[in-house]
């Protein structure tokens, strides 16, 4: 009986530690492959859409993106 409980606890601890490091490695790889949008990327996208990116418009869009990241959305 004690052996079963001990085995389950050890398995749970190993699973939690393994899951943490696995998720950490996955997120590092994800951010290397898909970096967050920065001003250069935004400027390039606007130029591809045929818009002339002014400094004012760039600041507004970056601020909107930062606000969207700070406020939690109710999207599923």
Tell me: the pLDDT tens digits for 7-36? 999 999 999 999 999 999 999 999 888 878
User: How much is the pLDDT for 21?
Assistant: 97
Residues 6 or more apart in contact with residue 43 via CB below 8 angstroms: 53, 58
User: How much is the pLDDT for 73?
Assistant: 61
DSSP one-letter string for 10-21: HHHHHHHHHHHH
Residues 6 or more apart in contact with residue 53 via CB below 8 angstroms: 42, 43, 46, 47
pTM greater than 0.75 (yes/no) = no
């Amino acid at each position: 009986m004690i052996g079963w409980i001990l085995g389950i606890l050890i398995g749970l601890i190993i699973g939690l530690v393994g899951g943490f490091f696995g998720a950490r490695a996955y997120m590092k790889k994800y951010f290397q492959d898909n970096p967050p949008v920065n001003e250069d990327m935004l400027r390039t996208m606007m130029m591809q859409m045929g818009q002339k990116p002014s400094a004012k418009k760039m600041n507004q869009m970056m601020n909107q993106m930062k606000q969207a990241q700070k406020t939690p959305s109710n999207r599923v």
